[in-house]
Structure formats: structure tokens, C-alpha cells
Structure 1
Amino acid sequence: MLIHPWDSVSDDTEWQYWLADHDFGQLAVSGPPGEAPQVQPLHFVYDAERGEVLTHLARPNPMWPALEAAPEVLLSVVDDYAFVPGPWQAAPDEPAEHGAPTSFYAAVQLRCRAHVVDDPALKADLLDRQVGHFQPEGGSARVAVGEVPYGRMLSGLRGIRLEVLDVRAKFKYANHRAPEVRARIADELTARDAPGDRAAREHLLRRNPV
């Protein structure tokens, strides 16, 4: 992922704050020699204090052999994206039709070492932490070995603990454009109000107010 200086994060707090509200991504694992990488969409829990990500997959998932053979993986999370038409980006001294279209988006890539969790008690704890994250209001029984309703399901799942080794984060929101161009883009995003436009506008104004 190319990250220009103007798209880079100010510090770790910026991407960690964003990631706290984005817990669905794609796990990419190297495939066998001569084959394409394998990619699995999934929910996950990111624990900033422990520097790890928790998730799980069904035991029949075909990704397991590749994951165990090449445990260095990449978790990619992308959201808050919007297409920006060329005229919106035109410089103040050039014709509108000369503006270059682009994409706005936020992206965090976590390079990790995967640890497969098969021990029943550790797996139950991992799953319980996931349930607690996604259902903080409760409403579900705890995940515990030998206890209904989830104990009998544990054998059909395998846990994954992703040890975070490195992070690359990017917030691409015209940070290098002139103030009047950013103001125009903000106004156009407000007027269009398509899915993703409000979040994109918030990032544009948050990173460099106009």
C-alpha cells in the first residue's frame, strides 16, 4: 500500500481510535507455491493493550493448511470510502474538467503472526471475549467448555490469535490540496450525501480543517 506523507497518520492514536470502531476486515494468507493468496472476510477483536487480534474460523475452512504453513499474515481493514469526481479536485486556477478523479478511503493493515488456538479452555476464552465485544449489552450465555449452549460447538471451530508485528495506516482525504479545493470537496460531499460521503467528509475536515 502506497502511503504519501500527506496521507500518513499523525500518530498511533489516530489509527487505533478508528480501528476501535471497525471490526470487520479481510485476512490474507499466502497460498501454496504457484497459487494465489487466500482471503477470508471476518469479524475480529483488536486488543491494543496486548497488541493482538482475536478471531476464529470454522474447522472445515480450507484456509487452515495455508495458515499453518505460512503463519505470517495480513489483516486488511478498509472503510469510509468515497469516489471523488475530477471537477471537485480541480485547482483554483484550472478548468474544472482538468481535475483528476480519485478515491477517498481509510485503511489499516496489520501484519501479524498467526497462532492457532485449539485448546478447549483457551478457545472458549477467546470466543467469550469476542462475544463480549460484539454484544456488550449481554443477551447471550458465556462460552465455556462443557456448558450449554456453546460448549458443544467448540469442536467445530478453531481460534486464531494474531500477534501484531507491524501496522501500516492511511487516511486518503485530500490533505495536500489547497484549502479552497478541500472546502469545495466538503460541500460537494454534503450535497451528494451518498453512502460513505458523510464519513469521508468528517475525515477531510478532521485532518485539515478548512
Structure 2
Amino acid sequence: MLIRSWDRGAEPEWRRWLAAGRDFGLLAANGGPGRGPVLVPTHFLLDADQGEIVLHLATPNPFWAAVRADPEVTLAVTDDYAFAPGHWRGDPGTPTSYYASVQFSCTAETVEDPAGKAEILNRQLAHFQPETPQTRVVPGGEPFGRLLPGIRGLRLTVREVRAKFKYDDKKPVELQYALAGLVAGRGRGLDAGVSAQLRRRAALRGGPPATDGGGCPAG
């Protein structure tokens, strides 16, 4: 992922962006000689302070063979994306894509033991299903303990984070706000989130205060 100086995402920015409910990404492992990468769409749980990501996958998933061969993996999260027509953007009138993306380069550790798998599942349940605190996984216990052989846990140690917020920060602030209005007026797909990001990034550059509406306030 190419990151220019003007669209680099700082750590407080990407942390807030992810914390606003963005906990589903694309996990990639090397597929070995003559094969493409193994890609797995998955929910995950990030502990940014500890530099750790945990998740689980079904035991038959082809990801496991790939990660045994090479434990270096990438997890990517992309959202708030839209196409920007060239005639909206001023000279030279070239179209572009707006998007936010955070990519984690990680070292993967497979978790096989029942207690370790249950610990990961319970952390995920507490995050994704907090309304049922009584629902917990106990090895050997009902109703989920007997299902543990059907999954493996995955613990990712984060080595590098690369974040990009591509919203025309190289353009004048006034044009960036105008683009936000044009995208909002179009009103399709993820345009509302993209418009909010354009306003937020413009505000960070010295424009009027703005809030992106998605848990990522200006500043």
C-alpha cells in the first residue's frame, strides 16, 4: 500500500477509526511457491496497547497450512471508500478513489490447547456479545466446550502498523470541504462516511471543527 506524506494516518487516528466498530478484516498468509496468498475474511479482536490481535478459525480452514509454512501474516481493514469523479476535483481533472485502510504486519501463533482456545473465544464474546455475559466457553462444559476441537485459536503479535486516509489532503482545504458536500449529495454506498472523513481531514488541516459521525472526532 502506497502511503504519501499527506495521507498517512497517525496512531491516535487509526485507533479511533478502528474502535468505532471496525473489527472485521481480511487476513492474508503466504500460499507457498506457485500459489497466491490465502485470504480469510474474519472478525478479530485488537488489543492495541498490548500489540496483539486474537481470533479463531475453523479447523479445516486452508489458512492453517499456510501459516505453518510461514507465520508472517497481514491483516487489513478497509472502509469509508468511494469513487471521486475527476471533474469534481479541479485541475487536472483526474478521478481517484477515497478510502481508509489500516494494515497490520504480524507474526502468527496457533493456539491448540482447549484452555487457550476458550480464553480467546471468551474475549471475543465479551467484545462482540456483551449483552449475554453468562455465555462463556468452558473446556468440556456445555454447550460449547465439546465444540472446541472444531476450531483453532490464532494470536497475532503486531510488528508494524501502516495506516492510510486517502481524502485529497493535498488539495486546498476549501476544495476538500466542497468535495465532502458533493459526495454527501450523491448519497450512495458509503458516501456518508466518506463525506465525513473529508470534512474531518479538512478540519485537521486548520478548517472549522468537524466530527466524522463514526467515532473519530477531529483533533
Output the TM-score relative to the length of structure 2.
0.89
Unaligned runs of 5+ in 2: 208-219
Residue aligning to 1:12:
11
**1:50 to partner: Cα distance:** 1.5
Paired amino acid for 1:202? A
Equivalent runs, 1:34-73 vs 2, <5 Å: 34-73=34-73
Q: Which residue of 2 is the match for residue 143 of structure 1? A: 137
1:198 aligns with 2:188: no
CA-to-aligned-CA distance 1:142-167 (integer Å, 9 cap, x gap): 01111111101101000000100000
Kindly report which structure 2 residues correspond to 1:88-107, keeping only aligned pairs within 5 A, or say none.
Answer: 88-91=88-91, 98-107=92-101
CA contact (8 A) 1:88 1:181 kept: no
Aligned to 2:80: 80
Q: Across the two proteins, how many residue pairs are aligned to each other? A: 203
Distance 1:183 1:55 in 2: 39
Deviations 1:5-61 (A, max 9, x none): 00002x311111111221111111001112111111101000112111111110011
- What is the alpha-carbon distance in structure 2 between the residues aligned to residue 67 and residue 104 of structure 1? 32
Structural RMSD (CA): 1.2
Shift of 1:179: 2.4
Q: Distance in 2 between matches of 1:85 and 1:140?
A: 50
Match among 146, 155, 159 for residue 149 of structure 2:
155
CA shift, 1:190, in A, is: 1.7
User: After TM superposition, which residue ranges in structure 1, 4 or more long, deviate above 3 angstroms?
Assistant: none
Distance in 2 (CA, whole Å) between partners of 1:140 and 1:4 is: 47
Deviation of the 1:139 alpha carbon? 6.3
**Aligned partner of residue 6 in structure 2, secondary structure:** helix
Residue pair 1:51, 1:163 contacting (<8 A) in 2 also = yes
TM-score, normalised with respect to structure 1: 0.93
Q: Mind listing any 5+ residue stretches in structure 1 that lack a counterpart?
A: 92-97
SS at match of 1:90: coil
Residue-by-residue CA offset, 1:99-146 (whole Å, 9 max, x unaligned): 111110000000000000001101101011011111122266201111
Give per-residue Cα distances to partners, 1:60-100, cap 9 Å, x unaligned.
Answer: 11121111110000001100101111111014xxxxxx511
Quick check: 1:183 aligned with 2:177? yes
Judge conservation of contact 2:109–2:156 (CA < 8 Å) in 1. yes
Equivalent pair of 2:76/2:104 in contact (CA under 8 Å): yes
Alignment of 1:104-123 (within 5 A): 104-123=98-117
1:165 alignment partner in structure 2: 159
Distance 2:117 2:181 in 1: 49
Partner secondary structure for residue 137 of structure 1: coil
Is 1:133 paired with 2:130? Answer: no
Could you give the per-residue CA deviations for residues 161-192 of structure 1, whole angstroms, max 9, x where no partner exists?
01000000000011110123212211111211
Residue 17 of structure 2: SS of its match in structure 1? Answer: helix
Query: Which residue of 2 is the match for residue 95 of structure 1?
Result: none
